[in-house]
Amino acid sequence: MNAELTETLKQKFLLLDGGMGTMLQNSGLAAGGVPEMLNFTEPEKIIAIHRAYVQAGAQVIYTNTFGANRLKMASTHHSVRQIIQAAIANAKKAEPEYIALDIGPIGQLLEPSGTLKFEEAYSIFQEQIEAGKDADMIIFETMTDLREVRAGVLAAKEHSDKPIFVTMSMEENGRTFTGCEIPAMALTLEGLGVDAIGVNCSLGPEELVPIVKQLCEWTTLPVIVKPNAGLPDPLTNAYDFDAEKFAKCSEIFAEMGAVIFGGCCGTTPEHIQALSKMLSGRKPVQRKITIPAAVCSANKTVILNQPRIIGERINPTGKKRFKQALMEKDRNYILQQAIQQIEAGADILDVNVGLPEIDETEMMKDTVQSLQSITDTPLQLDSTKPEALEAGLRVYNGKPIVNSVNGEEESLNLILPLVKKYGAAVVGLTLDKNGIPKTAEGRVNIAERILEKALSFGIRREDVYIDCLTLTASAEQEGVMQTLNALHEVKTKLGLKTVLGVSNISFGLPNRELVNRNFLAMALSFGLDLPIINPNVESMTAAVRTYKLLANIDRNAVEFISHYGGEPKENISPEKQEISLSAAISSGLKTEAGNLTKLLLQTKEPMQIVNQELIPALDEAGVKFEQGKIFLPQLISSASAAQSAFEEIKNYLCEHNTEAVNKGMIILATVKGDIHDIGKNIVKILLENYGYQVIDLGKDVAFEEVVNATEKYHAPLVGLSALMTTTLPSMEKTIQLLRKNCPWCKTVVGGAVLTADYARQIGADFYAKDAKETVDIAKRIFNN
């Protein structure tokens, strides 16, 4: 069926049906109930609607199963299987050419915006797909979250061999509600091996013109257009396009190269008939397009049409503080590394979380998900373990880069199928079982072999990036030009994108930055597309910006001037400052607090600084806050400044292999059902500033998870937060379970709706009205 359909779509248009909701209302079926139940209660009316569409010329009938998932059907007392099978039986009676299993959004948002887990979404879709195995194809429609679509498509790919169509709902800015943009949608879904993609609902044909045009430029797949009948009237909610106008306005999509047509809200069999008539005299336009080399997250696409910086800092190699963060699962530290690099100019972030002491597979998944909850910068997944790569690829929302394969058969056969399955791009290292060839020629040969193998797996040429490998100039000086010559050959003869880790060049030499910067400039001139560098080193990002200026990529020097054209940045060196650390903390001066701590560490013991400077300054701020002399924003500013001081102390302790500051272990969580966590996060920072070791379980935390963590760390104190009255029962339940399983631990609760009385009622040991009071309670518990 897949091959047959694909062939058909080259020659002929495919006509889908029109709106179901509109027709149900027209048949006098009241809105408000569960529409899927009509498959049982009013089968004749459903069949009549399907039949009317078939008679109007629709070849594909969508089953009446838009919301037929186990969450939305929970109230109906019918199983997903029963509902979907009844719907397919109804569709069959109308005798269409094809029956499409219709799957709409789950209705609950996935993490990180919502609380639904990726795996749970997958399982919900899997159930629908298995129930709908008698349909001819699977359609995901009205989708707005690419994450959710990916879960559905993976479930479909792994549990069915039917063609998969996906249509998403775009707003006039060319993005879905979640911010997903057309190029990212197209790159991701074509990469996953979907059979046709397009848009439905939200807009009418007129508003969809620029959106469909862009889609036609970003995919080689058949394009689907299923608009609403215009826009709804704000008062009556009626749609304003009649059939003729609808069809007339849809003509332009056929001219752009769309081949699958239909209608969404407000459309009727007349609209479909008019479309059928409009298409009858036409032939599909053959689009001749090449999709550029590009990677993306859902909300951001990075086209490799100019050098793009890959930030290398998320990597424990040679970084004690990073290793410590991985061992302690200190997510915030890792995320801060990401933000710093992005602000410094990274276009893509390399993610390497490999450490023998930890479960790399779990950590890769967790890190990818956490990173994607705070940034839309695309990622490069970096691991030597296929299972860690797959864990990252599975949850990565977009099209990432896999780092890496090499010329060995085993590596190619293990990694390339994963690259293909998840639609990623891949870095090929020019080495094999004989090591790194000395000559440029040898490396180009391996690059060719990698390319051939990748093509044989169905990976696009544009998605293979070659790393010709930097050797250190101190040990193999004659090798430097071989790397650059190989890079140039790969770029010009093979026409592939090139990637290179730069910093290795200067290993063992003095003035490494100078060597790195010049080697980077040389490599860029030889055709380097993706330098892997530390973007926080200003001279390195500056070298890339300067290259773009001189190579006429940065037209009219717009980017260059925006970075270097303004007033010279004020540079306050700590030596010149006449301010004490405690004054910096009181005034909330973050940078100064960090710099002053660095200076103090040259003469004082870390614990002295904590006890004599940090804590007294925070205490003073706390007292002023209690007295109403300063307010929450100032208290938080002080906490933030103290945090940067504390980070310097942690760095110092790591470098000197000294034990971390630990005045006591505290577990924090926002209770199940609640996802407001800013209050808890403020408490966390303040506790950490006082030297407590905080295990932050996050938000919407299951009861058992709190208990498990408390047991695991034998934590003497657990802090729970809730913002809403409706989540207070969750808090109570958590406390009960803690009482039962962890009788040694004390609980402190806080949050907007809590009061001391209520805290007592639900069995908490302490109520803290703010972050400051939580610290006071911790001091009492730990006697410090």
Q: Residue 173, interface with another protein (CB under 8 A)? A: yes
Q: Which long-range contacts (CB under 8 A, 24 or more apart) does 70-78 make?
A: 70/124, 70/127, 71/106, 71/107, 71/108, 71/124, 72/34, 72/36, 72/106, 72/107, 73/34, 73/36, 75/34, 76/34, 76/36, 76/37, 78/37, 78/40
Q: Residue 551, interface with another protein (CB under 8 A)? A: no
Q: Residue 30, interface with another protein (CB under 8 A)? A: no
Out of 276, 306, 336, 708, name the contact with another protein by CB under 8 A.
336
Out of 209, 291, 480, 675, name the contact with another protein by CB under 8 A.
675
Name the one range near another protein by CB under 8 A: 286-294, 433-441, 495-503, 629-637: 629-637
DSSP-H helix ranges across 299-330: 320-327
Cβ neighbors of 455 (< 8 A, separation 6 or more) are 461
Asked if 212 contacts 199 with a C-beta cutoff of 8 angstroms, the reply is yes
Site string for another protein, 682-721 (x = CB under 8 A): x--x------------------------------------
Out of 28, 234, 508, 510, name the contact with another protein by CB under 8 A.
234
Smallest separation (angstroms) from another protein to the CB of 586: 14
Which burial class, exposed, middle or buried, applies to 76 when counting CB atoms under 10 A from its CB (0-12, 13-18, 19+)? middle
Choose between 26 and 726: whose C-beta lies nearer to another protein: 726
Cβ neighbors of 273 (< 8 A, separation 6 or more) are 56, 57, 243
Label residues 394-420 b or e (16+ Cβ within 10 Å = b). Answer: bbbbbbbbbbbbbbbeebbeebbebbb
Smallest separation (angstroms) from another protein to the CB of 170: 12
Smallest separation (angstroms) from another protein to the CB of 202: 8
Strand, helix or coil for residue 399: strand
Q: Residue 752, interface with another protein (CB under 8 A)? A: yes
Phi, psi of 721 (to 5 degrees): -125, 145
Smallest separation (angstroms) from another protein to the CB of 178: 5
Out of 43, 57, 112, 193, name the contact with another protein by CB under 8 A.
112
Q: Residue 25, interface with another protein (CB under 8 A)? A: no
Name the one range near another protein by CB under 8 A: 132-140, 437-445, 507-515, 632-640: 632-640
Number of neighbours of residue 192 by Cβ within 10 angstroms: 19
Asked if 753 contacts 725 with a C-beta cutoff of 8 angstroms, the reply is yes
Choose between 256 and 395: whose C-beta lies nearer to another protein: 395
Asked if 45 contacts 37 with a C-beta cutoff of 8 angstroms, the reply is no
Q: Residue 375, interface with another protein (CB under 8 A)? A: yes
Name the one range near another protein by CB under 8 A: 185-193, 251-259, 370-378, 702-710: 370-378
Phi, psi of 196 (to 5 degrees): -155, 145
Choose between 404 and 721: whose C-beta lies nearer to another protein: 721
Choose between 307 and 622: whose C-beta lies nearer to another protein: 622
Region at 738 (left for phi over 0; alpha for psi -120 to 50; beta for the rest) = alpha
Q: Residue 525, interface with another protein (CB under 8 A)? A: no
Q: Residue 115, interface with another protein (CB under 8 A)? A: yes
Q: How far apart are CA 391 and CA 359, in angstroms?
A: 11
Which burial class, exposed, middle or buried, applies to 634 when counting CB atoms under 10 A from its CB (0-12, 13-18, 19+)? middle
Q: Residue 107, interface with another protein (CB under 8 A)? A: yes
Helix axes 409-421 and 386-395, enclosed angle (nearest 10): 10
Q: Residue 586, interface with another protein (CB under 8 A)? A: no
Report DSSP letters for 668-720, one per residue: EEEBTT----HHHHHHHHHHHHTT-EEEE--SSB-HHHHHHHHHHHT-SEEEE
Q: How far apart are CA 17 and CA 260, in angstroms?
A: 11
Q: Residue 144, interface with another protein (CB under 8 A)? A: yes
Number of neighbours of residue 752 by Cβ within 10 angstroms: 11
Q: Residue 622, interface with another protein (CB under 8 A)? A: no
Name the one range near another protein by CB under 8 A: 274-282, 431-439, 657-665, 677-685: 677-685
Name the one range near another protein by CB under 8 A: 92-100, 165-173, 276-284, 555-563: 165-173
Choose between 358 and 374: whose C-beta lies nearer to another protein: 374
Beta-ladder partners of 428: 405, 466
Name the one range near another protein by CB under 8 A: 168-176, 280-288, 456-464, 614-622: 168-176
Q: In the sheet that 294-297 helps form, which strands lie side by side, from edge to edge?
A: 301-303, 294-297, 398-399
Tokens of 613: 């400077």
Helix axes 728-741 and 703-713, enclosed angle (nearest 10): 40
Q: How far apart are CA 39 and CA 59, in angstroms?
A: 21
CA distances from 303 to 190, 378, 403, 472, 494 (A): 16, 11, 18, 30, 19
Out of 3, 30, 235, 475, name the contact with another protein by CB under 8 A.
235
Smallest separation (angstroms) from another protein to the CB of 228: 11
Choose between 250 and 638: whose C-beta lies nearer to another protein: 638
Out of 48, 480, 579, 724, name the contact with another protein by CB under 8 A.
724
Q: Residue 361, interface with another protein (CB under 8 A)? A: no
Strand, helix or coil for residue 62: strand
Choose between 171 and 242: whose C-beta lies nearer to another protein: 171
Q: Residue 8, interface with another protein (CB under 8 A)? A: no
Out of 492, 518, 608, 725, name the contact with another protein by CB under 8 A.
725
Nearest to 592 by CA among 626, 658, 637: 637
Residue type, 482: Q
Q: Residue 123, interface with another protein (CB under 8 A)? A: no
3-state DSSP helix/strand/coil percent for the chain, to nearest 5? 50, 15, 35
Q: How far apart are CA 451 and CA 283, in angstroms?
A: 36
Tokens of 182: 């057309």
Phi, psi of 391 (to 5 degrees): -60, -40
Q: Residue 231, interface with another protein (CB under 8 A)? A: no
Name the one range near another protein by CB under 8 A: 6-14, 146-154, 521-529, 679-687: 679-687
Name the one range near another protein by CB under 8 A: 38-46, 348-356, 396-404, 725-733: 725-733
Asked if 750 contacts 719 with a C-beta cutoff of 8 angstroms, the reply is yes
Smallest separation (angstroms) from another protein to the CB of 673: 4
Out of 727, 734, 747, 774, name the contact with another protein by CB under 8 A.
727
Q: Residue 504, interface with another protein (CB under 8 A)? A: no
Smallest separation (angstroms) from another protein to the CB of 643: 7
Out of 52, 88, 201, 609, name the contact with another protein by CB under 8 A.
201
Name the one range near another protein by CB under 8 A: 356-364, 497-505, 604-612, 633-641: 633-641
Q: Scan residues 404-443 and list those touching another protein (CB under 8 A).
A: none
Determine how β-strand 301-303 pairs with β-strand 294-297.
antiparallel
Strand, helix or coil for residue 649: helix
Name the one range near another protein by CB under 8 A: 100-108, 347-355, 417-425, 447-455: 100-108
Smallest separation (angstroms) from another protein to the CB of 726: 4
Q: Residue 386, interface with another protein (CB under 8 A)? A: no
Name the one range near another protein by CB under 8 A: 245-253, 335-343, 404-412, 578-586: 335-343
Where on the chain is the footprint of another protein (CB under 8 A)? 105, 107-109, 112-115, 142, 144, 169, 171, 173, 176-179, 201-202, 234-235, 237, 332, 335-336, 339, 373-376, 588, 590, 632-633, 636-637, 639-640, 643, 673-676, 678, 681-682, 685, 724-727, 730, 752-755
